[in-house]
Amino acid sequence: MMDDNKMNIATFVDFFDFELPGNVFNSAIALGDVDNDNEIELVIGSVEGDLFIFKGHRLIQKISGLGIITAIAIGDLMNCGSNALIVISGDGWCHIYLCLKFSKLDPSDECVMKLEPVHDQRIPANTKVILLGDIDSDGMLELIVGLTDRVVRSYRWSQSAAAGRLVPLHKWECANQIGSIILIKDIKNRPCLLVSQPGVSAMRFYCPIAFPELIEKTIEYENENELPVELLNPLISSVMVGDLKVDIKCDQELFDKNDHLYGIASMNGLVMLAKKETILWSKNIHQELFIISKLSIADGGPDYLITCSLNGDTLIIDQKSEHSTFKFGESVSAFCCGMYTVKPNTKSMPSFVLITNSQKVYIYYGLKLPNTCVQSLSKCIENDNHLSTFMEKYEGPSKKKIIRDCLYKYNPNKI
Amino acid sequence: MDGLVQSVVYDTSSPANIYSATVMQKVDGDQQIVMIASKKDMITLKSKVIDDKVETSIVELNFSNIPSNAEIISIHCINRCKEFDDFVFGITYALIIEDEEPETAETFLNIYSGFPGSSLEAIMENCKTLKLDFVPFQLNHAIYMSELQKNSMWLLSGSDKKIHAYKIEEQEILEQKVEEYFIEFEDTKDSIVLCFGSKSYSNYKKRLSYYGCETGYSMLAIVDSEKNQILHYFLERFESPITVMQLFNIHKKTVDIDNILSVKDDSIPDCDSIDEKEQVCLLVGSAVESAVVYMNVLKNDLRNAITLTDSNRHQAIVCALITDVNFDSKNEILLGTYGNYILNYVYENNNWVEQQQFDMRDSVYTICYLDIVGEGVNDVIVMSERGIHILKHEPRYIVEVLKNRLKL
């Protein structure tokens, strides 16, 4: 208990869970607005070929027979102004679903939209990771997939009068197995892909059409920040998360608000914050970290790095490298975090989604970092003109006593 | 329990039990909670206001003379003095002896005390230990009269189906014959006492004592404190272990608003006594049946019982707190259940009516209601299977209540 306390325990006030028969790949979970109603749903695909769509506390749709689902993404891939759901199976099928009805007009309408298949296409098999991003600065989203055979491919949705399809754009080959793919901006604000490679290194690719002069490069991070050498094992895989919203309250020496920050986590417990080709800080967590993600916990606040280890310990790390731990207490097979709409017609909340080996999905929401609580009573009194003027007459102890007696000794019958 | 917001949860590595928390009532009206976290550690909650937000943190308390491999069972504290804080803590714990087969445990009672005005740090250092020959359960205290002086005695129920009495004399804990001071606790119906207590009235001349047993017996006695003589004795038998018993008044002492504003009234509630001019009620909760409130026991004995309807629907009732959480100057009953809910009953139109239930998502073991921030408003502190939960009143609602009462 006391050791935990030193670790800074983060807690979730609320959670709920769903049964989820089947096993889940970590890229086969996505949080996003699949039905374009401005609420955020959770989509999970299983190895058994079942696709589950959860909205609030309910499972609203299940689609079966999709093969081994290895990756899912939600976004406006068709560049038509509404989100599509992209489901890719290990054997090379890419299914695209759309919610074809208009978004609900009446906010009290509880009727649930169903997704319908709009496109199926064969692509090379063995997709491992998926990314939707604009790699050529044309303002449209492209689909980027990383395959288990070290290949990265990009596609663009092409719509003709009769039908649309995914058109292959580029193919890059990596030196080693792909951990994750992120899209960042370089010094000159040009988009580039970073593909994490084992041993805390990365490959950088540019779109060859938009930037033909820029060639691919392997980034070996400089060791100026004293990375523990014993942890830089070239056999250890690593994952990344990009495009962090910068914490402007942080030390301005390391980075400023125009920097493009990204996080790296290695399977042997190293967490790093990086910009360009340098590591800003690193931290040894002593856990098997299989995922790194980002989450803005305060409304509109900066992004935190979130890492999850196989034993369920989830770390919430701020950009100054201070961390707090959420102890889930059960081993997990997949994790994702982001905003989720827990109740219809309410604001989405920062949430963690954990999938256990016991075939359950837990959604935790209402995260409280250590020492984040409701506003103090004295501040609320200060904000009220009448009450604060009245209370000014009294000093500390008698003020407290008046509040206490007014609440707990008040005689309701006497006027 | 309307308007209570769950604000923080601290996970503990192992769950609490029903004897895991005690509240220090200071003479200036402030309060502090001391809890057993994860069987091994004693902690308290400290709150500060930083950037207009309340920050509560867990502070470890190092009570001396408790080996690191001990499992702490129960805790209780009393304030011996009315003018200065003079706290005495009692802690019971077990030491598991691992070499032996089958595993056996040695049990101990530690008493910590200081002088009037001693700091908690000083008290924690000054320890007396007594080895017990039974597994301790509830640790409590009670007041008896001898030669017109009121004295307090430590009482401890145990696995040997007895209630033991202890006095501290010349730096030693001495076991006393319980029947010489508390005749009503001599006979415990040959069963383990899970809960017991005593409240004085008539200026400490009389007392009401009760206990509840594992075998379902519940006892209430009216005792002449000066003569240590039972005046009335009532025994009920329930079908399951008695987990909760409490004596209380429904209406709290109130003060007119003018007197509140003049800050003249500085009476501290005396938790050892009960107001016999108000009706005195007895709550009895058990593992299987619905809880029962015996109304006006000084007049009606146990004849007027009101059942708390459906209070057994979330499995066993584990703990109870009788306090005023809705600011109506009337006490409500909060029941903590094994089935994750806190149930709230209020007294309306001569009946106990359920108001809300509060889902804690884990079994509830203790509930306390005290001011941990020092702003005048209390928080509900719950110890559950998972850890320590703090439920706070919405501060804007408190502002509304204050404005209404101060006519602003």
Tell me the DSSP string of A142-171. Answer: EEEEEETTSEEEEEEEEE-SS-EEEEEEEE
Q: How confident is the model at residue B54 (pLDDT cuts 50, 70, 90)?
A: confident
pLDDT of residue A6: 44
Q: Do the Cβ atoms of A376 and B375 come within 8 Å?
A: yes
Sole residue written with tokens 């020959």: B133
Backbone angles phi, psi at A59, to 5 degrees: -85, 120
Angle (CA) A1 A284 A301, round 5°: 80
Give A-chain residues touching B10 at CB under 8 angstroms: 5, 9, 11
Positions of chain A with pLDDT under 70: 1-9, 13, 101-112, 222-232, 250-252, 368, 370-374, 414-415
* Element at B401 (helix H, strand E): helix B395-405
Three-state SS for A4?
A: helix
Nearest CB among B13, B403, B408 relative to A4 is that of B13
- The reply to whether A398 touches chain B by the CB within 8 Å rule is yes
Q: Do the Cβ atoms of B260 and A376 come within 8 Å?
A: no
Q: Do the Cβ atoms of A374 and B392 come within 8 Å?
A: yes
Q: Which one, of A405, A88, A366, lies nearest residue B254 by Cα? A: A405
Return the amino acid letter for B171: Q
Q: Which residues pair with B176 in a beta bridge?
A: B165
* A89, A76 Cβ separation under 8 angstroms: no
pLDDT tens sequence across A203-222? 999 998 888 888 888 888 86
Min Cα distance B140 → chain A (Å) is 26
pLDDT mean over B303-332: 94
Give the burial class of B224: count Cβ atoms within 10 A of its Cβ; 0-12 exposed, 13-18 middle, 19 or more buried.
Answer: middle
Min Cα distance A249 → chain B (Å) is 15
pLDDT of residue A368: 65
Q: How confident is the model at residue B81 (pLDDT cuts 50, 70, 90)?
A: confident
Give B-chain residues touching A373 at CB under 8 angstroms: 7-8, 53-56, 390, 392
Residue B159 has pLDDT above 70, yes or no: yes
More confident residue, B270 or B219: B219
Residue B292 has pLDDT above 70, yes or no: yes
Backbone angles phi, psi at A239, to 5 degrees: -125, 160
**Strand runs labelled E in B206-350:** 206-213, 217-224, 229-237, 242-249, 280-286, 292-294, 305-307, 317-323, 332-337, 341-348
- The reply to whether A163 touches chain B by the CB within 8 Å rule is no
Which of B207-221, B246-260, B342-356 is least confident?
Answer: B246-260
Residue B381 has pLDDT above 60, yes or no: yes
Cα end-to-end span (Å), chain A: 50
pLDDT of residue A231: 63
Q: Do the Cβ atoms of A376 and B395 come within 8 Å?
A: yes
pTM comes to 0.71
- The reply to whether A384 touches chain B by the CB within 8 Å rule is yes
- The reply to whether A320 touches chain B by the CB within 8 Å rule is no
pLDDT of residue A179: 92
pLDDT of residue A3: 39
Radius of gyration over every alpha carbon of chain A, rounded to an integer in angstroms:
24
Q: What is the DSSP string of B8-55?
A: EEEE-SS---TT-EEEEE-TTS-EEEEEEETTTEEEEEEEEEETTEEE
Residue of A nearest to B371 (CA): A404
* β-strands A332-340, B31-37 pairing: unpaired
Edge to edge, the sheet with strand A360-368 lists: A11-19, A360-368, A349-356, A332-340
pLDDT tens sequence across B161-177? 999 999 998 889 999 99
How much is the ipTM here? Answer: 0.91
